[in-house]
């Protein structure tokens, strides 16, 4: 049975402007430059141009008042009425610079110069295949196999599956033997080890390219016949089964340690190998922190004066009753484009202000780290909420700022996420960053006797002796985050 009724609900929804601001906030400097170019291509009312009405410094000092129109709210016309004054004010509130001039021509070298991207691994292999004298079918199979390699250079799909792919996609009927033959050509390419189907084959492919000597021969036999014992570092078993002394086994392991388990990493896969920082942080001689926002590739934006003049002519026509229905539609179209341009400029300005506020807060809380030129032991415990409370923004906003953003200092480039860490209590009751504990943990493991590595239990005991209240399972978690293996796998001859 259908019923009708009235109900009242309070629902919070994001406006289009807020959604646009959120999307801009989480992109990097390079992505921001591309986003601006896209917007300028789509919206003719948005164009490059300088205007010094409102700078970021004024915005930071005065807040929203810096960009509010100086009009009397009581005399504002209804929102749906089209008024010429709304678009043609001499001091257009949205026609501000979206770029902070944070560098001069003498300071351009402060920022990292983008480097041209290298060829992808796939392109690099395609070029090499062309050097073989292959028949047409084998060449097509090789091209397909190269396209099936993963980012590490491995062929992870089984040959029968690749056989089906060639039949369905390329209408090629090939045998497993033909696939094996083509794969042998791929495995002859550089970097050594590419085209392997697993780690064992990858290491063997690299070993067989080395100059043969006793150490290489022993290394080949270890990988080929005793791979499981090798991965578990059962040195005693390997020594007995291969009839090798400690020095001979050590030389063989030294050869294996120089091999690359991920040959595809030696060639970039189409992504930039360099980081473009979003901030430049410098510490002056009087221990004052200066922060600049990287806007060198971001153009100044404003609403097009030409578009305003055209809108003015149409509105005059409408007021003089000489305009037609087409004139009204043109006014509405241009109004939408101008509104969109104004919203975008405002969102860009808000993004820059939010980025600077967040970075200033992080720098203030972690100033001892910057004063000590990167000593991780000087990092203070800090979570997203700590920054959000200071700048009076939501935690999700701070999270978006910290995501994929980098700051350049005179001692290195750091992701903003690096400065956020949980706290651990010491015996004295002081809260220290878990990064400090990780640093000490890494130092303990580096200094340990590799013939008898420290277990997680022993590491926990040592840290507790140093005053850090930390359990064995926490040590194991931090060790894994540092990409350090368990004690058994750290053992060496």
The stretch 443-448 carries a mean pLDDT of 88
Q: How confident is the model at residue 24 (pLDDT cuts 50, 70, 90)?
A: confident
Report residue 485 CA to chain centroid gap. 26
Q: Please report the pLDDT score of residue 359 as a whole number.
A: 92
Tell me: the pLDDT tens digits for 258-300? 888 888 876 544 444 467 888 899 988 888 899 988 876 677 7
Is the pLDDT confidence value at 460 over 70? yes
The Cα–Cα gap between 225 and 221 comes to 6
455 vs 312, which has greater pLDDT? Answer: 455
Q: Please report the pLDDT score of residue 362 as a whole number.
A: 92
Please, what are the domains in the chain?
16-70+80-111+295-341 (no CATH), 121-266 (no CATH), 424-493 (1.10.10.60)
Q: Please report the pLDDT score of residue 203 as a whole number.
A: 92
Q: What is the pTM of this model?
A: 0.56
Is the pLDDT confidence value at 109 over 60? no
> Which stretches of 246-371 are assigned E, i.e. beta strand?
279-283, 289-293, 301-303
Q: How confident is the model at residue 205 (pLDDT cuts 50, 70, 90)?
A: very high
Tell me: the pLDDT tens digits for 114-128? 444 456 788 888 888
Q: Please report the pLDDT score of residue 103 as a whole number.
A: 43
DSSP-assigned beta bridge partners for residue 279? 293, 407
Tell me which long-range contacts 451-457 makes (C-beta under 8 A, separation of at least 24): 451/491, 451/492, 451/493, 452/491, 453/487, 453/488, 453/490, 453/491, 454/487, 455/487, 456/486, 456/487
The Cα–Cα gap between 22 and 385 comes to 18
Is the pLDDT confidence value at 360 over 90? yes
Which is it for strands 412-415 and 279-283: parallel, antiparallel or unpaired? unpaired
Q: Within the chain, what is the greatest distance between any pair of CA atoms?
A: 104
Is the pLDDT confidence value at 326 over 90? no
Contacts of 139 by beta carbon, 8 Å cutoff, 6+ apart: 129
Q: How confident is the model at residue 91 (pLDDT cuts 50, 70, 90)?
A: very low
Tell me: the pLDDT tens digits for 402-423? 888 898 988 888 999 889 887 7
Q: Please report the pLDDT score of residue 61 as a whole number.
A: 52
Tell me: the pLDDT tens digits for 384-398? 898 999 999 888 888
Q: How many CB atoms lie within 10 A of CB 202?
A: 25
Q: How confident is the model at residue 487 (pLDDT cuts 50, 70, 90)?
A: confident
- Positive/negative CA dihedral, 120, 122, 126, 132: positive
Percentage above 90 pLDDT, the chain: 8
Cβ pair 54, 64 in contact under 8 A: no
Q: Which of 7-16, 173-182, 309-318 has the lowest mean pLDDT?
A: 7-16
Is the pLDDT confidence value at 101 over 60? no
């Amino acid at each position: 049975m259908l019923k009708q009724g009235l109900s009242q609900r309070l629902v919070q929804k994001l406006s289009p402007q807020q959604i646009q601001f959120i999307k801009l906030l989480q992109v990097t400097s390079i992505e921001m430059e591309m986003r601006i170019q896209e917007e300028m291509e789509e919206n003719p009312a948005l164009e490059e141009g300088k205007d010094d009405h409102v700078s970021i410094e004024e915005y930071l000092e005065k807040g929203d008042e810096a960009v509010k129109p100086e009009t009397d709210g009581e005399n504002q016309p209804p929102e749906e009425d089209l008024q010429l004054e709304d678009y043609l004010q001499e001091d257009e509130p949205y026609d501000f610079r979206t770029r902070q001039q944070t560098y001069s021509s003498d300071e351009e070298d402060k920022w990292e110069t983008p480097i041209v991207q290298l060829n992808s691994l796939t392109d690099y292999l395609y070029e090499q295949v062309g050097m073989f004298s292959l028949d047409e079918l084998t060449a097509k199979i090789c091209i397909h196999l190269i396209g099936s390699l993963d980012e590490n250079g491995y062929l992870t799909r089984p040959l029968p599956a690749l056989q089906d792919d060639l039949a369905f996609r390329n209408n090629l009927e090939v045998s497993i033997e033909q696939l094996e033959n083509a794969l042998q050509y791929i495995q002859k390419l550089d970097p050594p080890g590419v085209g392997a189907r697993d780690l064992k084959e990858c290491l063997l492919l690299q070993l067989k390219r080395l100059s043969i000597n006793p150490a290489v021969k022993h290394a080949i036999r270890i990988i080929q016949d005793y791979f499981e014992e090798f991965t578990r570092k059962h040195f005693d078993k390997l020594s007995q089964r291969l009839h090798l002394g400690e020095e001979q086994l050590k030389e063989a392991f030294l050869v294996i340690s120089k091999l690359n388990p991920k040959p595809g990493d030696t060639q970039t896969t189409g992504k930039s190998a360099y980081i473009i920082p979003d901030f430049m942080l410098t510490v002056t001689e009087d221990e004052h922190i200066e922060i600049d926002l990287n806007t060198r590739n971001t153009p100044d934006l404003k609403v097009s004066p030409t578009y305003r003049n055209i809108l003015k002519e149409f509105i005059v026509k409408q007021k003089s009753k000489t305009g037609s229905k087409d004139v009204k539609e043109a006014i509405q179209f241009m109004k939408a484009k101008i509104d969109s341009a104004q919203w975008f400029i405002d969102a860009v300005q808000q993004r820059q202000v939010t980025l600077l506020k967040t970075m200033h807060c992080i720098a203030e809380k972690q100033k001892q780290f910057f004063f000590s030129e990167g000593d991780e032991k000087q990092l203070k415990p800090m979570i997203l909420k700590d920054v959000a409370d200071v700048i009076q923004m939501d935690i999700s906003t701070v999270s978006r700022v910290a995501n994929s953003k980098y700051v350049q200092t005179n001692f290195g480039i750091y992701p903003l996420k690096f400065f956020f860490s949980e706290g651990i209590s010491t015996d004295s009751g002081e809260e220290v960053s878990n990064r400090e504990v990780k640093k000490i943990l890494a130092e303990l493991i580096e200094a340990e006797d590799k013939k008898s590595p420290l277990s997680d239990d022993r590491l926990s005991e040592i840290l507790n002796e140093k005053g850090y209240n930390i359990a064995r399972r926490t040590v194991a978690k931090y060790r894994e985050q540092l990409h350090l293996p368990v004690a058994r796998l750290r053992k060496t001859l």
